[in-house]
Amino acid sequence: MNTSPSAAGVVAVPDSDLDHVASCDLPTPWATFRLHAFVEPSTGKEHVALTLGDVADGKPVLSRIHSECLTGDGLFSLRCDCGPQLEAALRSIAEEGRGALFYLRQEGRGIGLVNKIRAYQLQDAGADTVEANEQLGFKADQRNYRLCLPMLRHLGISTLRLMTNNPRKIAAMEQIGIQISERVPLIISRNPHNERYLTTKAVKLGHLF
């Protein structure tokens, strides 16, 4: 098995769960990132990573593992903190001049967009974010962070300075062999629409605010 860095500074990963398809430049308001596209062969689902600077130099990489949230990331919903966290993470990486953001297509903590909207309907009727998922027959969090492993290997990253408030995410990454050298808090301002959501994440899911 050849896992030595290639001329492009990445690591070949045979028999991975994701296939790297293409990379390109992505200009943003904060920096011009390198955008890497990956596809799950078994499902056709697409995931991306954004990198800035030399992330394959062996040093811990400032990183964010961000699960897709169309309502927060693309439609500016105030019900969650996802959109502001995504923007804050990209800004922090740009300020540091080096880092990586992994954007996983796991909408609604893994239950999908339509089911997330169903969960929102239950929340409108009084359920909290955990209760709503469970009433629909799902676990509170169904995300699969193993998707990060072939992406990290492809990019030559082994140690993260992870921007997260979620200790379960850290435990999941360590369980698959990714070293977390530091947890970097990513605190977003509360508003009347996300107050209960953030409180539930702290009380029931152990998030650190």
Q: What are phi and psi of 32, to 5 degrees?
A: -95, 105
Query: Of 73 and 12, which is predicted with more confidence?
Result: 73
Written as one letter, the residue type at 95 is E
Residue list, annotated binding site for GTP: 64-68, 85, 107-109, 129, 164, 169
Among 30-34, 110-114, 131-135, 198-202, the least confident range:
198-202
From 3-17, 25-39, 129-143, 184-198, the region with the lowest mean pLDDT: 3-17
Q: Is the pLDDT of residue 10 over 90?
A: no
What pTM was estimated for this model as a whole? 0.88
In the three-class reduction of DSSP (H, G, I as helix; E, B as strand; rest coil), residue 177 is classed as: coil
Q: What is the pLDDT of residue 43?
A: 86
DSSP state of 50: E
Which residues form the catalytic set?
141, 143
The pLDDT mean for the chain works out to: 90
Residues contributing to the annotated binding site for Zn(2+): 69, 80, 82
- Report the run of H or E that residue 169 belongs to, with start and end: helix 167-175
Checking if the pLDDT of 86 tops 60, the result is: yes
* Residue 4's pLDDT band (cuts 50, 70, 90): very low
List Cβ neighbours of 173 (8 Å cut-off, separation of 6 or more): 65, 145, 148, 160, 162, 180
Q: What sign does the CA torsion over 199, 146, 90, 75 have?
A: negative
Q: Is 26 exposed, middle or buried (0-12, 13-18, 19+ CB in 10 A)?
A: middle
Higher pLDDT, 187 or 83: 83
Q: Is pLDDT above 80 for 13?
A: no
Give the residue numbers of the binding site.
64-69, 80, 82, 85, 107-109, 129, 164, 169
**DSSP one-letter string for 78-147:** SSSSHHHHHHHHHHHHHHHT-EEEEEE--HHHHT-HHHHHHHHHHHHTT--HHHHHHHTT--S----GGG
Evaluate if residue 52 carries a pLDDT over 60. yes
